[in-house]
Amino acid sequence: MSVAVAAPHPAAVQAARTVVAAGGNAFDAALAAAGALAVVYPHQCSVGGDLVAMVRPAGSPVCAVLSVGAAGLGARLGPVPFRGPHSVTVPGVVAGWAAVRSLGARLSLGELLAPAVRLAAEGVDKSPGLLRAIANGLDVIRADPGLSAVLLPPTLVQPALARTLSGIAHDWRSFYSGPLVAGLWALGSPLTAADLAAHTAEVVEPLRRTVGGVTWHAAPPPVQGATFLAVVGSPSLPADSRRAQAARHALLGDPRGGPIDLDGLLLRTPDAFPPGFEATVPTGDTVAVTAVDDDGNAVTLIQSVFESFGAGLLEPTTGVVLHNRGSSFSPDPSHPASIAPGMRPPHTLCPTIGLTDGDVVALGCQGGRAQPWILAQLAPDVLTADPAELVSRPRWIVRGAELILEPGLPDLGDTTGLTVTITVGPHDDAGHVQLARLRGGVLEAGSDPRADGVAAVLPQ
C-alpha cells in the first residue's frame, strides 16, 4: 500500500512515513502527522486544542468526526475574553485522535504517537513559520511563564509534553482525568474534572452538495461546513462569500442549544443580511493534514488552538498549549452561539472530502473563518490540476467588507460593496492548503508553499 500525504511541516510527513513503513494506511499516516504537528507547530495546534475531521474508510460512506470542546458546567452568560484561562473550553484533540483511529487505522495509538514523543523529548529546530509567530507574538509569550520557558530558548525541547504524549499513547482517556485538570485550575480556568470527563468525540453524518460532478462532504454545525457548501461552485464567489460570512455570523451555533437554520447557512433563503454587514474576523491558527491511500481510504484532519498560541497559556506540568475557542461565544442570549453550560462555540475548522466515481480528494487548510472560500477557489480544478501548482496559485479572501487579493489574480467578477486590498505577495491569511487525492488509480498530493510543509507519496 502507498499513501499520499500533505502537511504543513516536514516532521509531520516524516512521522507519516514511519508508520506507513510499519504497515499503516491513510488513517495511520494522518494521525502520526497530527501528533507530530502538536509538537513542532505549537502556535497553530496542540493536544490542548480541538479537532474536526472528515474520513472515508474504503468502500464506506464519508463521515465527520467532531471533537469540539464545550464550555464548563459553570459557564455563565456574558463576554468571554479573547485570551486567558476563561477563554479555554475543553480540549477535543485527544478524543478526536481516538475516534479517527477507531474508524480505520491499523496501528496502535502508541505506534502512531511514537514519532511525536521522540520529537518532544529530543527537541527540534524551530521552523520559519514558528519563528515568525514567535516574533509576532512576543508580548503574549513573555506574559506566560509556560510559553516563555518552551519557546524562547533556541531549540524547541518539550519534556513535559513528551510525558503527556506517552500517557496518551498508553491510555488516551487519562488525558481527561490526569494532571491537566489540576493545571487548569492553577491557571485560573473554571473547567473542572467533571467537565473534562464529560467530553466525547462525535461521529456524525456530513452535509453534502454535488457541484460539477464532485460530491463534497463537510461537517455540520457547530462547524462551518455549511458555509463551504454554500459558496462552492458559485459563479460570483467574492460576493456570495460575503453573504455566507454574514449568514455564518448570524446563524451558526451549537445544535445542543436548539435548532440551527441550515437553509440560511446554505444561502437557500432570501438574503436577510444588511449590505453594511461587517465582522471582526480573526485569521486563526490551524493545521490541516490530508492523506489518501491506494485502497481509497481518505482522511482530512484539522486541529487548532484558534489564534496564534491560543489562550496565551502553556500549562507547565503537562506542556500543553491551551486553545481560546471560548472567545467565539456570543454574549447575546438570543444568538445561536450564546455561551451556556455544556455548549460548544461556533467553529472555523472546515475540512472537506470530494468524491466522484472512482476518485477521491481530501482537502483542508488553515485560514480561520476564511477557510470556506479559500477551499472553494480550489474546488473547480481539484481533480484536474497538478496539486503543487493548484495550491500555489494566488488567492483572495473576504474579511468583513474587505477583499484581500494576492498579486496575479484574474478578474473576479462581482465584488460589489467590497474594499479591495492587494498584498505584496503570497500571504499567510490566504490559507495553508493541504491536498491529497486518488485520481484514476494514481496517488498525488500538494502542500501549500505559504507554510513549511511538504507533500509526498509514501510507499509501504
Residues annotated as catalytic (active site), given as ranges: 286
Residue type, 200: T
Number of other CB atoms surrounding residue 108 within 10 Å: 12
Residues 6+ apart with CB under 8 A from 193: 177, 181
- CA 71 to chain centroid: 19
- Phi first, then psi: what are they for 454, rounded to 5°? -140, 165
CA angle 431, 375, 336 (to 5 degrees): 90
Whether 419 contacts 402, CB under 8 Å: yes
Distances (CA, A) of 38 to 16, 102, 165, 255, 360: 14, 20, 10, 29, 27
Q: What whole-number distance in Å separates Cα of residue 204 and Cα of residue 218?
A: 11
> Three cell numbers at 407?
498579486
Residues 6+ apart with CB under 8 A from 217: 54, 56, 62, 64, 206, 207, 208, 352, 353, 354, 355
Q: What whole-number distance in Å separates Cα of residue 436 and Cα of residue 54?
A: 13
Q: What whole-number distance in Å separates Cα of residue 66 and Cα of residue 64?
A: 6
